[in-house]
Structure 1
Amino acid sequence: MRSPAELDDVPWSELTHAYGPADDVPELIKVLYGDDDEAAGEAIYEFHGNIYHQGTIYEASAPAVPFLAHAVLHAPGRREDLLMLLAVLADHDPASVDSPHWPHSDIAAICAELCAVLPDLLPCLGDPGRGVRRAALRTFAAVADLLPDDTRALAVKRVDALYADDPVPAVRADALILLNRFGRVLEPLDSPLAEIRLAAAQLAAERNGPPYAPELVEVFAEDGADPDPGEDEFPWSDTSTQEQRLTNLLTREPDVALTVAARWIAHGDIGSRGSWLAGHVAERWRDREREVLDLLVAALPHHSKPSSLLRTIGYWVEHLPEPDAALRDALHELAGADGETAEPALLALVRSRDTRAVDLVLDRPSARLLAATARHFPEAAGRLIPVIRRELAAGADGNDGIALVQALARFGTAARAAQPELIDCLGTRRAAIVAARQLGANGVRTPEITDLLEEATRSGDASLRASAAVAHHLLTGDPDTALRTYEALLSSRGQTHWYLSGLESMGTAAAPLLPLVEPLLEAGYDWTRKAAAEAHHWLTGSPDRAVPILADIAGPTPVGLSALKALAGMGRCPAELHPALHTYIASPERLLADSPVGGQDHPDTELRTLSRMLLMLG
């Protein structure tokens, strides 16, 4: 270990961290020794941003370790936080230790420094504070595969004592996990302590993999329902908590996960543990939405503030072909009540396609509710458009303004009624990009509109310039303004693929831009190549150059999905894609993930649908 007196012996200004030279590290370390606990906490927060930034380490990280270890023992407080900082700094994949990149890497240096100071930190395993003991166990676990034999022997002796006698069951369970990491295979499923039984079952499941033995499933269901309230504060060296690790384990077997989730929900869904697990099943596995939603609805009575749960229900109910009447009735009851749960319940009711939702939305509209209602009830245009116009006229901007204007696109020619509001949005630069697109789609040409669009092509916002240029062409039929705008955009540096999609509506009228598009067909960035291939097809009317490029990119990734959409739009499916498409259809697991935001098809559902469509092309 190294004391603050030795800080000047390190050339901190020559070392780097996340924000450049590490010359601020000495002062932050000195703060740890002061009497100001709040300042010490802020210093540790700074360390999580500079020498350990979102999982990344730097040159200055390893030299800081012996100083942080000294502070663990000699600074007046924050011992838990400092130990956990050391643990996450040393996080590594044991499989990487033998790689050719390990010996001179920053992570190897950190682990070497930590191994060197751990003998001095052994007393922390016997600290009176349960949190300190738990954090110390994780610090030793971070380098369990690298400890010298003598240090390992001393650590095992201390950890054995914790496992046998510690008065806190959670500490004993942690000790069991560390002993297993030291190579001591222990699986005491018959322990009188639930925490130890659960840890033992998890270790056995990790070691043996699925299918999980019935006795393990029973332990998960019985002992996992009541989470450790301090678990999130003490992640292991891979920065995941025990709950996250257990969730990942269980969702490897969806039937087991749903069985366990049902037991946890019946136990009261403490800490949303059961509903969280059920939601993860839907995220990972296809065609389990109905079972998951049944569990989520069963969890509702256990929550006094179920807003988060309702948002999850609202996301998955949209992907259910025909939501059950009982589910819709439960949502309708909550949506009609007062309080903070009414809006997420109403949004879920809209996404369940229950016609009762329209009246409720019109009684208390919001941009998000109106956008969702327009998506699912376009036939209600006559009732929705006046409310959308009113909200826009009242000054809706930002994401709200964007959502309202995009909602109008669902209504076809009926959206022309909102021309005055769209013109105002474009003129005041509120949701201007989508307003420009909608004005072009509406097809109503007036001097005011075309002048506003031409003015917008000179905006400092490149996306607005592109959208306004295309809309101007749609209304006037004159490609000159659009060609001039796109020539400047495509000649500039940056991610030009963002603008290429606008050329679809111009078609061959944009052919003069081919000399700028063709070089992008060989770009190194997949999104650029994909966008350029599509644009080449629109500009030439021939898919011949585009199809091989798109087929090469196509796959279960966001850009690969976009490439599949493009191929479907061209009506082309190269034979070499057929085996992969069959795989995309047959997989029981989702091949593409999504975040629960709603309002769009799940990417994995699109992948399967597009794969079927393409195979039908032959």
Structure 2
Amino acid sequence: MRSPAELDRVQWHALTHAYGPAEDVPELISALYQDDEEAVDEAIYELYGNIHHQGSVYPASAPAVPFLAHAVRHARFKRAELLMLLAILADHDPEAVDPPHWQDTSVGAVCTALCQELPELLCCLDDTERGVRRAALRVVAAVAELLPEDRRAEVVARLDEIYANDPVPAVRADAVVVLARFGRGTAAADSPLPEVRLAAALLAVARSGPPYPADLVDVIAEDGAEPDPGDDEFPWSGATTQEDRLRHVLTEDPDAGLRVAARWIRRGDIGSRGSWLAEAIAESWRDREPAVLDLLLEALPHQTSSRTRAARLRTVGHWIERLPELGLAPGHGLRDTLHRYATDADEVTAGPALLALVNSRDPRALELVLRRPGPRLLEAAARHCPEGTDRLIPEIRRALAAGATGNDAIALVRALEPLGAGARVALPELVECLRTRRAAVVAARWLGAGGVATQETVDLVADATRSSDPALRAAAAVAHHRLTGDVGLCLRTFEEVLSGSGQTHWYLGALEPLGSAAAPLLPLVEPRLEARHEWTRLAAAEALYWITQSPDRVVPVLAELVGPTPVGLRALGALAATGRVPEGLRPTLRAYAFSPRRLIHDGPVSGQGHPDDELRTLARTLLGVGAGAE
């Protein structure tokens, strides 16, 4: 250990942390000894930002370790937090410990320094404060495999004592986890303490791998229904809490995970942990939506606040939209529950419930939407309530005319797309959107696609081609061509846009309606097939196919980009449009088509549909394409 009196013996100015020279570290370490708890808390916060920053450590981190260890023993406040800082500084991948390179890394130096200080910190395992004891166990765990043999026996003996006698069950459970890091088994599975049994079961299922033994799953279901109240304060390596570990392990075996989620929900869904587990399974595994929706329906009455109910309802709204694609329809019980919440006076709950009801295609939803026609609700109703076209269009027009801006205006314009020719009556509002630059890009696209050419609209889109926004210029140029049949202005606009710098793939994607009329732009399109940016290569390949209708140069570019990523998914869609499938791509397509896991992940409020569903559908479509192509 090193006291603050020795801080000036370290050449801090020659060391670096996340923000450059580490000259501020001595002042921050000295502040740890103040009698002002807020000042100590601020100093720890600053240390987390510089000697440890977003999972990284630096040359100044290891020299700070002996001073932090001294502060743990002698500072008045925040000793548990200081121990956790030491544990997190030493966090590392055990497989990376490979001399001689390990010692040359900043994290290797931190671990070496912490191993040297550990004997002076072991007394914290007997501290009167449970938080200090729990944090000290994380410090021991952080360097467990690095301790020399002569120290391991002492440490394990101390851990055995804690496991056997600590008065706090959560501390005993922590000791079980740390003993496992030393390869030491326990009889924890037979403990009378639920916390200890849960820790043992979690370690056992992680070792066994899926499918998990039923008896261990039962232990987790029974003993894990209530969260550890100190879990967030004491993460393990990788900054993961026990809650994180439980969710990760149980998500690896979806059948076991759903059984556990069901038990936790029936126990009251404490802390929404059963709901969160079910949601994680739906996001990780395909075709689990019906079972997850049943669980979320069961969980709704247990949500203790409007905010948590709204979170569950948003998830229901996301997954319920998927059921028709699985050949299923939402049950009457679920739709009746959504209807009840949608008519609730609590707006926090009613909004997500009504959106979910619309996504369920419930015929009662339209009347409720028309009573409170928000932009997102109108957009969803336009997709799922085609019988309401004549009633939805006036509401969309009214909202646009009232001056909607930003994402609201974009949603309203998009709401017109599924409504067909009848939506052309919205022309005056779309003209005004373009004139006032509200959702101007989507308004220009709609005006062009709508095919209603008036002198006003033609002049307006022509003016928009001179905008400072390249995306609007491109959309307006295409709209002008579609309204007038004149390709000259469109070509001139794209020549300027594509000759500039920036994200040109955004503008290449607008060329599809031009088809072969865009042939003069080929000298600007073809070189981008070899661009470094994958989105640019993709957009260039798409544009080349739209212009030439020849797949020869396009298919190799698209096939190379295919993957379970946003750009890879769009490449797959473009490949499907060409009608060619390289034989070498078929094993990959089979994996995409038949994987039980989701290969592209998506949050439950990200928008329409799920990208992984599109990936599977496209892969199956392409596997059905004839094998007559390379």
> Which range, TM-score by smaller chain?
over 0.9
Contact 1:318/1:598, CA 8 A, preserved across alignment: no
Output the CA distance in 2 between the equivalents of 1:538 and 1:156.
69
1:124 matched to 2:124? The reply is: yes
Contact 1:311/1:345, CA 8 A, preserved across alignment: yes
SS in 2 for 1:506: helix
Give 1:548's match in structure 2, choosing from 543, 556, 581: 556
Give how far 1:16 is off.
4.0
1:499 matched to 2:507? The reply is: yes
Contact 1:29/1:43, CA 8 A, preserved across alignment: yes
Matches within 5 A, 1:273-422: 273-305=273-305, 306-321=309-324, 322-339=329-346, 340-422=348-430
Output the CA distance in 1 between the equivalents of 2:412 and 2:521.
33
1:253 matched to 2:259? The reply is: no
Q: Could you tell me which runs of 5 or more consecutive residues in structure 2 were left unpaired when the two chains were aligned.
A: none
Tell me the amino acid that sits aligned with residue 316 of structure 2. I
CA gap 1:232/1:411 in 2 versus in 1, 3 angstroms:
same
Q: Deviations over 1:167-206 (max 9, x none)?
A: 1100110011001101112252110000000000111111
Give how far 1:259 is off.
1.3
Give how far 1:12 is off.
4.2
Output the CA distance in 1 between the equivalents of 2:50 and 2:457.
50
Output the CA distance in 2 between the equivalents of 1:296 and 1:90.
39
CA gap 1:455/1:151 in 2 versus in 1, 3 angstroms:
farther
Q: In the alignment, which residue of structure 2 is the partner of 1:220?
A: 220
Matches within 5 A, 1:174-185: 174-185=174-185
Q: In the alignment, which residue of structure 2 is the partner of 1:206?
A: 206
Contact 2:176/2:188, CA 8 A, preserved across alignment: no
SS in 2 for 1:542: coil
SS in 2 for 1:184: coil
Output the CA distance in 2 between the equivalents of 1:493 and 1:487.
12
Give how far 1:313 is off.
1.2
Farther-moved stretch of structure 1 (243-252 vs 81-90): 81-90
Contact 1:68/1:82, CA 8 A, preserved across alignment: yes
Tell me the amino acid that sits aligned with residue 393 of structure 2. I
Output the CA distance in 1 between the equivalents of 2:338 and 2:605.
18
1:72 matched to 2:72? The reply is: yes
The share of aligned pairs that are identical, in percent, is 65
Q: In the alignment, which residue of structure 2 is the partner of 1:269?
A: 269
Q: In the alignment, which residue of structure 1 is the partner of 2:186?
A: 186
SS in 1 for 2:102: coil
CA gap 1:554/1:114 in 2 versus in 1, 3 angstroms:
same
Give how far 1:268 is off.
0.9
Contact 2:318/2:609, CA 8 A, preserved across alignment: no
Give how far 1:392 is off.
2.3
Give how far 1:138 is off.
1.2
Farther-moved stretch of structure 1 (503-512 vs 30-39): 30-39
CA gap 1:542/1:10 in 2 versus in 1, 3 angstroms:
farther
Farther-moved stretch of structure 1 (505-514 vs 34-43): 34-43
Contact 2:358/2:365, CA 8 A, preserved across alignment: yes
1:95 matched to 2:75? The reply is: no
CA gap 1:3/1:386 in 2 versus in 1, 3 angstroms:
farther
Farther-moved stretch of structure 1 (340-349 vs 568-577): 568-577
Tell me the amino acid that sits aligned with residue 316 of structure 1. W
Give how far 1:598 is off.
5.1
Tell me the amino acid that sits aligned with residue 529 of structure 1. R
Contact 1:40/1:78, CA 8 A, preserved across alignment: yes
Output the CA distance in 1 between the equivalents of 2:42 and 2:466.
46
Farther-moved stretch of structure 1 (570-579 vs 601-610): 570-579
Contact 2:261/2:275, CA 8 A, preserved across alignment: yes
Farther-moved stretch of structure 1 (473-482 vs 558-567): 473-482
Output the CA distance in 2 between the equivalents of 1:25 and 1:611.
55
Q: TM-score, normalised by structure 2?
A: 0.93
Number of residues of Structure 1 aligned to a counterpart in Structure 2: 618
Farther-moved stretch of structure 1 (539-548 vs 456-465): 456-465
Q: Deviations over 1:440-487 (max 9, x none)?
A: 222233344344434433434333333333333332333333333333
Contact 2:400/2:429, CA 8 A, preserved across alignment: yes
Output the CA distance in 2 between the equivalents of 1:517 and 1:3.
66
Output the CA distance in 2 between the equivalents of 1:610 and 1:202.
38
Q: Could you tell me which runs of 5 or more consecutive residues in structure 1 were left unpaired when the two chains were aligned.
A: none
SS in 2 for 1:355: coil
Give how far 1:247 is off.
1.5
Q: In the alignment, which residue of structure 2 is the partner of 1:465?
A: 473
Contact 2:465/2:493, CA 8 A, preserved across alignment: yes
Matches within 5 A, 1:5-16: 5-16=5-16
Farther-moved stretch of structure 1 (375-384 vs 99-108): 99-108
Q: In the alignment, which residue of structure 1 is the partner of 2:441?
A: 433
Contact 1:118/1:151, CA 8 A, preserved across alignment: no
Output the CA distance in 1 between the equivalents of 2:72 and 2:437.
54
SS in 1 for 2:509: helix
1:33 matched to 2:55? The reply is: no
SS in 2 for 1:107: helix
Tell me the amino acid that sits aligned with residue 599 of structure 1. G
Give how far 1:32 is off.
2.7
Q: In the alignment, which residue of structure 2 is the partner of 1:483?
A: 491
Output the CA distance in 1 between the equivalents of 2:517 and 2:440.
25
Tell me the amino acid that sits aligned with residue 337 of structure 2. A
Give how far 1:346 is off.
0.9
Q: TM-score, normalised by structure 1?
A: 0.94
Q: Deviations over 1:480-513 (max 9, x none)?
A: 3333333333333443222221111222222222
Output the CA distance in 1 between the equivalents of 2:33 and 2:539.
56
Give how far 1:359 is off.
0.7
SS in 2 for 1:251: helix
1:574 matched to 2:582? The reply is: yes
Output the CA distance in 2 between the equivalents of 1:70 and 1:279.
44
Farther-moved stretch of structure 1 (338-347 vs 516-525): 516-525
Give how far 1:555 is off.
2.5
Q: In the alignment, which residue of structure 2 is the partner of 1:585?
A: 593
Tell me the amino acid that sits aligned with residue 241 of structure 1. T
Contact 2:189/2:200, CA 8 A, preserved across alignment: yes
Q: In the alignment, which residue of structure 2 is the partner of 1:456?
A: 464
Cα RMSD (Å) of the superposition? 2.2
Tell me the amino acid that sits aligned with residue 557 of structure 2. I
Give how far 1:289 is off.
0.9
